Amino acid sequence: MDTTDTLLQDAARRLADIRDRMAKAARLADRKPEETRLIAVSKTFGPEAIEPLLAAGQRLFGENRVQEAQAKWPALREKYPDVELHLVGQLQSNKAVDAVTLFDVIHSLDRSSLAQALARAMEKTGRRPACYVQVNIGQEDQKGGVALDALPALLEETRALNLPVVGLMCVPPVDKEPAPYFALLAKLARRHGLPRLSMGMSGDFETAITLGATEVRIGTALFGAR
């Protein structure tokens, strides 16, 4: 067996394992496995690591940086035009046009200035990627996300701007049990009538699924350590 075949088999095995764990977590919560979508977070990995997962059938991918995604995804999308690309990292307002042009979903809307920049970018490009409002669920100074008490005002502004906000996103504190934070995000989403929840990564996605995640963002468990 050559190296290419080994890479393909390894990628297929990792993908199948994650999907199996996702399905088991869904059943524990009396949810259907198809209610949660898997985003393979390929930040810092090149096409040689991404293509085996594409060959195994994965079509949702996440990137942290606009420029990194611009460097590798246009060529990959020529071969796999049905890929859905998600921006899961922080977004600077001056990159809004580039982000709206390249990505199908943006998970990190977290402030008024970015909401306005995205509205202008969507009007300019004619593209309307779905958006998640990122919530600073653990109230951590170093983390992105809108503050809990500022969330209602930001959501009101996104509605006034006619932005396609579909849900909430969070990254809970790394050194604490994530379940209460996921539960809080789910409660906030229900309160504001938002159907989707982007929460859960390699170390806690099963917990996130039991608490209502509709998208989980998996990097290390699929690609290995960065």
User: pLDDT per position in the chain (226 positions), as tens?
Assistant: 456 778 789 999 999 999 999 999 999 999 999 999 999 999 999 999 999 999 999 999 999 999 999 999 999 999 999 999 999 999 999 999 999 999 999 999 999 999 999 999 999 999 999 999 999 999 998 889 999 999 999 999 999 999 999 999 999 999 899 999 999 999 999 999 999 999 999 999 999 999 999 999 999 999 987 6
The correct CATH number of 3-223 out of 3.40.710.10, 3.30.70.20, 3.20.20.10, 3.40.190.10 is: 3.20.20.10
Residue with tokens 């096409």: 47
Model-level pTM?
Answer: 0.95
- Which residue in 214, 197, 53, 79 sits closest to 134, CA to CA? 197
Domain boundaries, the chain: 3-223
Handedness of CA 78, 83, 84, 85 (dihedral sign): negative
Name the burial class of residue 223, with classes exposed (0-12), middle (13-18) and buried (19+) by CB atoms within 10 angstroms of its CB.
buried
CA 51 to CA 64: how far, in whole Å?
Answer: 18
For residue 180, what are the contacts with CB-CB under 8 A and spacing of at least 6? none
